[in-house]
């Protein structure tokens, strides 16, 4: 009965009904009712309410609780025979943070088809075997495809004012489902229907220009908004107060907190005293807050410096001031953004001495991104190699720590292989691709074999390989890299969670969380495939069975059709020598991608193999005869000592022996009748 009175009196300020569903104030289904900041849609044909996401996708509103200022929307289903949400292309559900809506803390989100690059929400994520997502997958026919995926997770939303997004992405989770107020102890049969609960902010009084605009809000007067200069609102008259839940000027009752205006003239002296007291109190509060803020800032800087200095080499990075970096990047101008990712953003800058720099900054509030930036500084302080991006220093005094490194002018290998404008403007020849592959492999081999302690990169991919003005490669982005302590070097390291990028992840690492240098070798094998084919590691524009490049190429290898998928730009005008070496690199990639890591070559062996292939091309540049004998493939470069060294490398205590490991280029080039004769040789690097 309480709500029926405002409905009767309010007229057009409420939007009435959508079918049989009342639309409470401030929700608005047309320009003539409700508050326009709270827009939703009503389909009169189906009597269905919708809320549009930031991407413009409509989500069905299944229920509205006006007193609690909450609504529930229906999450998207999983696309049949896949484990992708229907809103995958728009990267999940998100709300414009300028709107008065956000996700409540009542939701349990089930994340499906996941890598370890989870949603960037600051909440605990459960990916264990008893996670609720398994109950959903095993009991939902439409999610049957998710049973083939090894990782799913769940988390409870935080309900903060920043909870505007549930993100799905190829580098994170590719599907999701949501339940409101889910009791984890209930069997699946008693779970409620899927839903995602949102709340809306308390609305202010309706805006107005003249008193005529307030005709639908009884007991109100069009008056200046005290909190927004130049804005007018229908403010309740004396003796009434604004009730946002009902959208009505309710009558004041004693004890309700409604202020009564009394025509009393306070003493001037008393007023002055109060003003002085308020001013003094405000000043003291300001000083105290400033002191606490400065203390917290200094503590944060000290903690970050301790983290950076805690490395075995004892080396530390040059410290840049925040003022210096802000000036260099024009205060992080959007025009200077070079790229962005899950960690944050990279900006171009120019120091006072004219040095071009790239500045990596973690996303605000992203603790994981901050940790990755600090980790990258520690890693780069300990390495020095021509094929690794060079660290210039860091800045730790701002809210987000900054990583400053050399500016590499020619973009990423990904851009040159997959962006049509870059391919036309700066095509990469086969020899240049081999040089890039060798430089990358050489840099990774340095991390694995020469750095002390060894370092595993863990995120090798074409977008992390930068090209300088000479198109020479520099490996970048060490945010996920890990120092391997001496106690771990003899055995596989067990990691708590897989990290990396979908399409490049070592399947053994992904499934067993066992980290070795051969995980980087696997990722590099994917890079070799991209260099050969100019196809992306993951591409949803390909057929469903060919989305993953490795899966697609293994089928090609089994059918011995490697030359049919080589980048046409490479085959056009290629010599017989170049075509043969393309096959050889295809075999090398296949070896790197062996599902059993103990069968993969080391990074050093890969680098030597590519170096040998490069020498073949340069040595045969004046001829076009096919490679048909061992002497063409560096037989003279192999010594007994090197064979023994490689044999030791391949028989590590925790890795196990590798049987009949052959030189990939040699295996490709020699005639079949010579295979048997070669089978008893110790084939290392470039035999």
What residues are designated binding site? 360
Bridge partners (DSSP) of residue 406 are 357
Options 442, 459, 477, 587, the catalytic residue: 459
Does residue 101 sit in helix, strand or coil?
strand
Residue among 150, 147, 136, 68 nearest 108 (CA): 136
Query: Residues 6 or more apart from 552 whose CB is under 8 A from it?
Result: 535, 542, 545, 546
Q: How far apart are CA 370 and CA 402, in angstroms?
A: 9
Query: What own/partner pairs with CB < 8 Å and gap ≥ 24 does 300-304 have?
Result: 300/396, 301/396, 301/397, 304/374, 304/396, 304/401
Residue with tokens 């490194």: 405
Quick one: which H or E segment has residue 73? strand 70-73
Q: Which whole-number Å values give the CA distances from 202 to 49, 158, 162, 557, 616, in the listed order? A: 21, 19, 16, 62, 73
Residue 545 sits at φ, ψ, to 5 deg, of -75, -10
| Beta carbons within 8 Å of 10's beta carbon, 6+ residues apart | 25, 216, 217, 218, 247, 248
- Are the beta carbons of 75 and 195 closer than 8 angstroms? yes
Contact by Cβ (8 Å): 514, 494: yes
CA-CA distance, 375 to 588, in Å (whole number)?
Answer: 32
Residue burial 368-395, b: 16+ Cβ < 10 Å; e: rest: ebbebbbbbbbbbbbbebebbbebbbbb
Residue 120: Cβ within 10 Å count = 18
Residues annotated within the binding site for ATP are 360
Q: Are the C-beta atoms of 220 and 214 separated by less than 8 Å? A: yes
**Hey, what are 66's tokens?**
């006006």
Per the structure block, which two tokens stand in for 537? 């590691």
**Nearest Cα to Cα of residue 545 among 116, 82, 144, 152:** 82
Q: Over the range 562-594, which residues count as b (16 or more CB within 10 Å of their CB) and which as e?
A: beebbbeebeeebbebbbbbbbbbbbbbbbbbb
Is 12 considered catalytic here?
A: no
Judge contact between 643 and 651, C-beta under 8 A: no
d(CA 423, CA 410): 12
Contact by Cβ (8 Å): 204, 157: no
The DSSP output letter for 295 is H
Catalytic residues: 459
């Amino acid at each position: 009965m309480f709500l029926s009175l405002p409905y009767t009196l309010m007229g057009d300020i409420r939007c009435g009904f959508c079918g049989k569903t009342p639309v409470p104030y401030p929700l608005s289904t047309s320009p003539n009712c409700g508050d326009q900041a709270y827009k939703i849609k009503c389909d009169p044909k189906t009597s269905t309410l919708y809320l549009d996401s930031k991407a413009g996708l409509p989500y069905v509103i299944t229920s509205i609780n006006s007193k609690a200022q909450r609504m529930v929307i229906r999450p998207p289903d999983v696309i049949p025979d896949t484990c992708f949400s229907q809103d995958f292309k728009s990267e999940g559900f998100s709300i414009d943070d300028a709107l008065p809506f956000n996700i409540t803390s009542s939701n349990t989100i089930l994340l499906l088809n996941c890598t370890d690059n989870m949603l960037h929400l600051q909440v605990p994520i459960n990916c264990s075997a008893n996670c609720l997502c398994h109950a959903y997958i095993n009991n939902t026919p439409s999610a049957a495809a998710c049973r083939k995926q090894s990782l799913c997770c769940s988390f409870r939303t935080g309900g903060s004012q920043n909870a505007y997004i549930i993100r799905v992405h190829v580098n994170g989770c590719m599907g999701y489902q949501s339940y409101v107020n889910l009791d984890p102890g209930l069997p699946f049969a008693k779970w409620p229907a899927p839903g995602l609960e949102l709340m809306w902010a308390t609305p202010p009084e309706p805006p107005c220009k003249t008193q005529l605009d307030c005709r639908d809000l009884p007991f109100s007067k069009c008056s200046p908004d005290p909190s927004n200069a130049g804005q007018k609102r229908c403010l309740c008259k004396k003796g009434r107060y604004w009730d946002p839940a009902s959208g009505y000027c309710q009558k004041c009752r004693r004890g309700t907190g409604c202020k009564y205006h009394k025509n009393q003239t306070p003493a001037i002296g008393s007023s002055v005293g109060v003003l002085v007291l308020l001013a003094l109190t405000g000043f003291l509060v300001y000083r105290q807050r400033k002191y606490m803020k400065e203390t917290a800032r200094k503590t944060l800087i000290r903690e970050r410096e301790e983290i950076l200095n805690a490395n075995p080499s004892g080396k530390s990075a040059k410290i840049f001031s925040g003022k210096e970096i802000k000036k260099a990047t024009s205060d992080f101008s959007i025009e200077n953004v070079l790229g962005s990712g899950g960690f944050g953003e990279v900006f171009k800058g120019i120091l006072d001495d004219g040095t071009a720099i790239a500045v990596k900054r973690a996303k605000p509030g992203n603790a994981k991104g901050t940790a990755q930036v600090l980790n990258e500084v520690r890693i780069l302080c300990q390495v020095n190699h021509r094929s690794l991006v060079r660290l210039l220093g860091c800045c730790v005094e701002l809210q987000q720590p900054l990583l400053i490194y050399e500016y590499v002018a020619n973009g990423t290998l990904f851009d040159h292989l997959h962006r049509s404008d870059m391919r036309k403007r700066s095509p990469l020849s086969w020899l240049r691709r081999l040089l890039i592959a060798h430089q990358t492999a050489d840099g990774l081999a340095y991390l694995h074999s020469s750095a002390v302690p060894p370092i595993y990169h863990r995120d090798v991919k074409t977008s992390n390989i930068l090209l300088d003005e000479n198109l020479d490669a520099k490996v970048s982005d060490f945010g996920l890299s890990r120092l391997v302590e001496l106690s771990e070097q003899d055995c596989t390291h067990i990691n708590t969670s897989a990290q990396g990028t979908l399409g490049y992840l070592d399947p053994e690492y992904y499934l067993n969380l066992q980290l070795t240098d051969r995980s980087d070798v696997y990722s590099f094998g994917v890079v070799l495939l991209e260099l050969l084919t100019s196809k992306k590691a993951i591409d949803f524009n390909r057929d469903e069975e060919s989305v993953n490049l490795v899966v697609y190429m293994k089928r090609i290898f089994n059918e011995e059709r490697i030359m049919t998928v080589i980048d046409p730009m490479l085959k056009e005008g290629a010599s017989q020598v170049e075509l043969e070496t393309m096959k050889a690199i295809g075999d090398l990639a296949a070896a790197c991608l062996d599902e059993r890591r103990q069968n993969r070559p080391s990074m050093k062996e890969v680098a030597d193999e590519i170096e040998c292939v490069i020498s073949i091309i340069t040595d045969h540049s004046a001829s076009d005869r096919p490679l048909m004998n061992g002497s063409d493939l560096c037989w003279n470069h192999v010594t007994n000592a090197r064979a023994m060294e490689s044999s030791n490398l391949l028989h590590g205590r925790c890795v196990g022996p590798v049987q009949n490991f052959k030189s990939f280029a040699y295996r490709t080039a020699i005639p079949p009748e010579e295979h048997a004769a070669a089978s008893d040789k110790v084939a290392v690097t470039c035999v």
